[in-house]
Amino acid sequence: MNQQILLTPGPTPIPPETLKMESLPIIHHRTREFAELFRESQENLQYVFQTKAKVFVLASSGTGAMECAVANLISPKDKAIVAACGAFGERWVKILTAFGANVVAIRSEWGSAVKPSELEKVLNENPDTKAVFSTHTDTSTAIACDIKGYGALVSKTNAILVVDAISGLGGQELYMDNWNLDVVISASQKGLMAAPGLGFIAVNPKAWKLVLDSKSPRFYWDLRTVEKAFHDGQTPFTPAISLLRSINVSLKAIRKKGIQTIWEETKELANFTKEYGKSLSLKIFPKDPCEVLTSFIVPEGLDGEKIVQTIVDKYNISLAGGQEKLKGKVVRVAHMGFIQKADIEKGMKALAETLAASAVAK
Amino acid sequence: MNQQILLTPGPTPIPPETLKMESLPIIHHRTREFAELFRESQENLQYVFQTKAKVFVLASSGTGAMECAVANLISPKDKAIVAACGAFGERWVKILTAFGANVVAIRSEWGSAVKPSELEKVLNENPDTKAVFSTHTDTSTAIACDIKGYGALVSKTNAILVVDAISGLGGQELYMDNWNLDVVISASQKGLMAAPGLGFIAVNPKAWKLVLDSKSPRFYWDLRTVEKAFHDGQTPFTPAISLLRSINVSLKAIRKKGIQTIWEETKELANFTKEYGKSLSLKIFPKDPCEVLTSFIVPEGLDGEKIVQTIVDKYNISLAGGQEKLKGKVVRVAHMGFIQKADIEKGMKALAETLAASAVAK
């Protein structure tokens, strides 16, 4: 069987050189060889995050890294603002609520991002805010939040800014230090071009104070322990060795090409995808679109879920449908990480043919 | 460079057929192909755990699965007994303490296991106990706890029994259902012969009531959400797809050979290792030794850490030294999972030569 073309927003295709590393014989983690891998991957991660802060590596998916952030930064009853622009903004609300935070949610209409002016207003009304949580690019709505704008505001307060960059990192512009982002979270299986199973959390000194103060229960997630082991090039618990060895190859490739070049290339792919959609008279769902994926509105009377399923069955190409309130209403095409222009073209052609056939059938 | 021989208690060597699977092109998890893998691996896991209960798969290391257990089973101030027989028993104490439990620790002398009669006494004194936590085989002391004996006692009470079988599963006898173990935890990188990064937690109906009642904060760990997705052959968050695809090959191999046969083979390797040690006049540290690794006392006046380092440098064979209070005092040789007799023989020969050279140098 031919390999399926993945145009989903994670997991994304993995470069062959990265993939190969997963199948090397396993090494032990309490060794100099692992410590060397740890240090090298750390440098590469700091480059990709554009930060001098430590980037901690977790054996978890991206949501695990989000839970790690909340457990380390927020004590019960602490006030937290969420600038929520889709399903992944709502995920912050859910995790914070589970941890007993006093959550103030700013919800944009799906497809739009929360404006910095809205955040400013709520920040002013809530001077006791401990932390603001938001999303770099929310794949559910295919939008980008104005993280840079939020950073400029939050950095003037005592609060910290925590950014879920799981889907955006390595595709959409992000400067952790220059933009005053205090905590940035990501995962392995999207722009960073590796298999799922690694979570990342970068924490700057302003945020570290909250880590030392947090009263939320944690042991596996406890960044104080993680930080201690970090100094010896280690993790406190057995790391996902094969995944780290593998992703390091992708990180090196990003660094070699230059992250700004990759942002440019991703933007070009986004433009290509959007133009292709326009030529099919497809409307773009978000008003504030991101560059790592595009969400098209499914024409009236057609079922997005069926279209996606037909494209898998007939073309062996995997697009994404809609999530939650957008289920059946949008079709999403990712252009992040190792996704190739030729494959996007095949995906858009399949979408065009399937829409045409569905319209006729109707 | 020749491949290092790993005789450490995790990560252990990975069979080539298992390793190969990690480097297959990634598949998306919201697909029929993944659901099929999920169902097949589930059947294999239930076989290895010897249970009819659901075995939930987490993207985490084994300690993550331990934290998942505590967060789902214990509310703050709940009483929990720990039958602690080494560093991994102490890990239960630490996690439970972090989550605000009222911990009653029964500590055996290191090298001995907590006797069922001791547990019985403490259980009688603490009729309000919610759960008893223990360890199947504690690699720090190389002992086996009498989990079967604990199960017989705890099953007569309202409390549940939670067993960390991270290092023992797939090597040392364990019947989850027949022995009345309510929750069993494991991980991918030891007896189950795959790379680290997957945690497992099997929960029976008696324990499930506590999951529904627990007031501890959790979202990523929340087994209620995990259980909902389970019915569709899914996980709520992106799973570690390549690791699951890979471990399923090892699980199939265990099932094909028969777990009882593997227990027998492991016992034979344990006997071989112990006899070899005796021929070198080495004393075995634990009074209640397990079968998945052996811990030898380092002869008076020699430094176990140096011996282990010398064997790595000179022979490229990785043994384990001692942990915490046993640092420098023991050398540990694992014989779990895919570890081969010929390699154990090389390791023991290297140990013999290194000890002899050290004794002369002294």
pLDDT (tens digit, 9 = 90+) per residue, A141-183? 999 999 999 999 999 999 999 999 999 999 999 999 999 999 9
Structure tokens at A203: 């924490």
Question: Residue B3 — pLDDT band, cuts 50, 70, 90?
Answer: confident
Cβ contacts (< 8 Å) between B98 and chain A: which residues? 217-219, 222
Nearest to A28 among B8, B237, B242 (CB): B8
Average pLDDT for B63-71:
98
B4 touches chain A (CB under 8 A): yes
Please state the pTM of the whole predicted model: 0.97
Question: Residue A127 — pLDDT band, cuts 50, 70, 90?
Answer: very high
Question: What are the structural domains, with CATH classification, of chain B?
Answer: 5-11+258-361 (3.90.1150.10), 16-256 (3.40.640.10)
Q: Which of B58, B60, B73, B318 to mutate to test the interface with A (most CBs of A within 10 A)?
A: B60
For residue A348, give the nearest of A338, A361, A359, A335 by alpha carbon.
A335
Residue with tokens 């960073």: A192
Nearest to B196 among A6, A239, A318 (CB): A239
Inter-chain CB proximity B218 and A98 less than 8 Å: yes
In chain B, the residue whose alpha carbon lies closest to the alpha carbon of A245 is B195
Percentage of chain B beyond pLDDT 90 is 97
Q: B73 and B211 in contact (C-beta within 8 Å)? A: yes
Cβ contacts (< 8 Å) between B27 and chain A: which residues? 4, 11
Q: Assign A168 to helix, strand or coil.
A: coil
Inter-chain CB proximity A195 and B22 less than 8 Å: yes
Hey, CA dihedral for B84, B87, B92, B96, is it positive or negative?
Answer: positive
B122 touches chain A (CB under 8 A): no
Q: Assign B211 to helix, strand or coil.
A: helix
In chain A, the residue whose alpha carbon lies closest to the alpha carbon of B319 is A28
pLDDT value of position A2: 67
Nearest to B19 among A12, A23, A318 (CB): A23
Strands annotated E in chain A: 5-6, 54-59, 79-84, 102-107, 129-135, 137-138, 143-144, 160-164, 183-187, 198-203, 293-297, 317-318, 330-334
Inter-chain CB proximity B318 and A100 less than 8 Å: no
Which one-letter amino acid corresponds to residue A90?
E
A27 touches chain B (CB under 8 A): yes
How far is residue B15's CA from residue B13's CA, in Å, rounded to a whole number?
7
Query: Residues of B numbered 140-159 whose beta carbons fall under 8 angstroms of chain A's beta carbons: which are they?
Result: none
Shortest Cα–Cα distance, B31 to chain A (Å): 9
Shortest Cα–Cα distance, A63 to chain B (Å): 6
Hey, CA dihedral for A173, A174, A178, A179, is it positive or negative?
Answer: positive
Shortest Cα–Cα distance, A178 to chain B (Å): 30
Question: Residue B188 — pLDDT band, cuts 50, 70, 90?
Answer: very high
Shortest Cα–Cα distance, A279 to chain B (Å): 29
Query: Residues of B numbered 247-306 whose beta carbons fall under 8 angstroms of chain A's beta carbons: which are they?
Result: none
Q: Assign B10 to helix, strand or coil.
A: coil
Shortest Cα–Cα distance, B156 to chain A (Å): 31
Kindly list the distances between the CA atom of residue B136 and the CA atoms of A138, B172, B259, in Å, as whole numbers in the listed order: 43, 8, 16
B31 touches chain A (CB under 8 A): yes
Query: Residues of B numbered 202-241 whose beta carbons fall under 8 angstroms of chain A's beta carbons: which are they?
Result: 216-222, 236-241
With a cut of 80, say whether residue A1 has pLDDT above it. Answer: no
pLDDT value of position B32: 87
Average pLDDT for B215-230:
98
Inter-chain CB proximity B219 and A195 less than 8 Å: no
Q: Write out pLDDT tens, residues A303-335.
A: 999 999 999 999 999 999 999 999 999 999 999
pLDDT value of position B2: 67
pLDDT value of position A353: 97
